Amino acid sequence: MSIEKEVLERSKYSCELCTSTESIFVFIVEPKTGIYAEEALTMCQNCSDQINGFKPHDTNHWRLLNDTIWSDVPAVKVICYRLLHELKAEIWPLELLEMMYLDDETLEWAKATLDDAIDVPHLDSNGALLRNGDTVTLIKDLDVKGANFTAKRGTAVRNIRLAHDNPEHIEGKINGQGIVILTQYVKK
């Protein structure tokens, strides 16, 4: 039996990510070569277009990963890990990444094509590691440009988001106003 036929039969001719049965094809997960069925999965055109950047990521579509991460197929787990890694600006993908289990070999495969240069650590004024969704406290009064108010020392900023391209910036809301805050002015 060919690998393609084995993968299609395993998936019951549906996308192993979203279960769609339209425009299904077999996708070999890099850097594997597709010698074994575990190195490939079935995928629909919609999932493929988002994964390959032909369409923007629809974060609501990818909420289905909540179920998909529990697949027994290594190639499916690898794609789920990579997708969650790409979507981690949201809070829910971070939670799924923490729940997800990959053995050492599969984790190495999943990380093989990730650009970890984007993952710069964000540290608060005391050197504590910050994560998306954390609550931080301002350590000094800050003038908020364009909002005509001063954020007072001791103000809590909940559910922060990290700027993936700058380790000194976080985003949060104070008085309902979305602002960018320098990490040197907050503590966890």
Query: Ramachandran region of residue 86, left (φ > 0), alpha (ψ -120 to 50) or beta?
Result: alpha
pLDDT one-digit tens code per residue, 117-158: 445 688 999 999 888 788 999 999 998 887 788 999 999 998
List Cβ neighbours of 108 (8 Å cut-off, separation of 6 or more).
Answer: none
| Distance, CA of 41 to CA of 137 (rounded, Å) | 45
Give residue-wise pLDDT tens across range 162-183: 877 788 999 888 888 888 899 9
pLDDT of 60 higher than 70:
yes
The pLDDT of residue 39? 92
Cβ proximity of 83 and 51 under 8 Å = yes
| pLDDT at residue number 155 | 94
C-alpha to C-alpha distance for 77 and 41, rounded to whole angstroms? 10
Residue 1: its pLDDT value, please?
A: 66
Strand order across the 186-187 sheet: 156-157, 136-138, 186-187
pLDDT of residue 94: 85
CA distances 6 to 72, 73, 89, Å, are 15, 13, 36
63-117 pLDDT, tens digit per residue, is 999 999 999 999 999 999 999 988 877 888 888 988 999 999 999 999 887 754 4
Of the candidates 43, 41, 39, 48, which has an alpha carbon nearest to the alpha carbon of residue 105? 39
